Amino acid sequence: MRDPVTALVVYILLWWLSFFVMLPIGVRQSASEDLPSGAEAGAPAAPKIGQKMLWASGLAALLWGVAFAVISTNALNFIAFF
């Protein structure tokens, strides 16, 4: 990945993928007695979005590093398979 724009786009795609994977982890439903009036019963009690964004950033950085290493070393040379 010699082009920094391509590297950034790959990181952003990996970040969103990681973030959506992290979203359902640790989500608990609110207790019905704790709900304020007008609140949705299926809404999570404490979704911890900020923490999940940080975890997604770390996971995306790790996956991006692996992708960068594979592409830089030409480990997946498809011509060698044929």
What is the residue extent of each domain of the chain?
1-21+47-74
Partner residues linked to 29 by β-bridges: 44
Question: What pTM was estimated for this model as a whole?
Answer: 0.78
- The residue ranking higher by pLDDT, 79 or 50, is 50
Please write the tens of the pLDDT for every residue from 34-75: 677 777 777 787 889 999 999 999 999 999 999 999 888 887
Q: What is the pLDDT of residue 9?
A: 95
Gap between the Cα atoms of 24 and 8, Å rounded: 26
Phi and psi (nearest 5°) for 44? -70, 150
